[in-house]
Structure 1
Amino acid sequence: MSINPASTDTEMCELINKSHEKIRKLMPGAPVELQFTLPSNVRIRTTLVGYEKGKYLIIRQPESRQYYDVMTEGNVVVMRFLLEGEAGECVACKAPIKSLVSFPARLLFIEYPTYVENRSLRSKQRIATHILARMSPKNSPNELHDGVVCDISPAGCKLRFHADEMVRGVNKIPIVITIQKPGSEEALQLNGKVMNQRREDGTIGVGVLFTDPHEIVVTLLDQLYINTKIFDSAS
């Protein structure tokens, strides 16, 4: 059976484009995990430096010399990273090491993956929003942080703050989110718990799990003109 080279090239381009849809969401400095199985089974946490579509990914090499046995050209590595946003995904791809350099920095070049696997980390999909909000710890109501709700679902939301906001010591604690009802002086409030926070491109992202009953959250989303039927169809 003969293989049409043009068809093969087209299929390869389609695979790379699908891969790129995930990889392009990674920002330089994003944390990644590398897993090697040969000659030893190790996992290494490091950061992405950059990439060139269809050619390679650039990863910062760890400083420790104990990983020299796995850091060799041609060795296959599984790279995993997390993507926030509407779905909240864990993404994994597998590719061989193309090259290693030590000057001007210790970098690892990995062949650009043609296939990625992804797994949703949330039971509910979220929709992108841009809603001004104020967050305060439940036990310190006068400690206010102004930010933006950048995605939301009946289960939780993600708040984003300027990096100079003093959002510290709020992990795993009860909080109150206050949002002004559109076209009204009324303030809407949701109770939640901070599940994680991280610095992202000059901002601080805070993941929140709502602790109010589902019906209360849905009613509030309706008042914000968010179509909650979207979440019913996605579940």
Structure 2
Amino acid sequence: MEKWFEYWKEERMKFYKELYRKQENLRLTQHPKDKLVFYAKDAYDVEYLAPWGWAENEGIHWRGDYDLTQHGKFSGKDLSYLDPNTGERYIPHIVETSGGVDRTLLMLLFDAYEEETLPNGEMRTVLKIHKDIAAYRAAVFPLVSNKPEIVQKARDIFATLSNDYKVLWDARGNIGKRYRYQDEIGTPFCITVDYETLENGTVTVRDRDTMEQKRVKIEDLDEALN
């Protein structure tokens, strides 16, 4: 049974390591043996370093066979398991992994929120949340809103991407302000349709974290967003 407890410890840590950017703020802490409840074999907490200190993100508890033994005792049912390979009969042990959606979301916001000073002295607020759980995968912009052909091409791209992704349409104000707004809500990619799009079928894709921009063919957008 110990190997399965180790398995679940590794699996749960793997889950959080894929979510959080700042690995140094994530740790696995064992409960002191003298603090365990009487039926527990072992217990660990997945913790994240919040602004007020280390906070529990999830508990991983090896509860032994206590739960099923008690259920069997009071229900009068045999809850043992017969191993078909060895012929051994035993009461299965329980490994409880207990995480909370609300606390995980809070820690994700702590992990992702950044205030960066740009080379020009401007302050940028950005939410560097994992692209798979961001509110939107991408935002689509027409460079200008008074050119019907550019707006229509942007609308076409928006409609196509909407079949597979959560995307946001934004045609307000200037392009710089649109970028800043998308940074603040954590949109990983911004796609700008401009005059060059009409000429050669490419768009500008901007990366939220690096602010780098590159030209991408419309037919290659799916690859660029992954």
Does TM, scored on the shorter chain, surpass 0.5?
no
- Larger fraction in helix: 2
- Larger fraction in strand: 1
Q: TM-score, normalised by structure 1?
A: 0.29
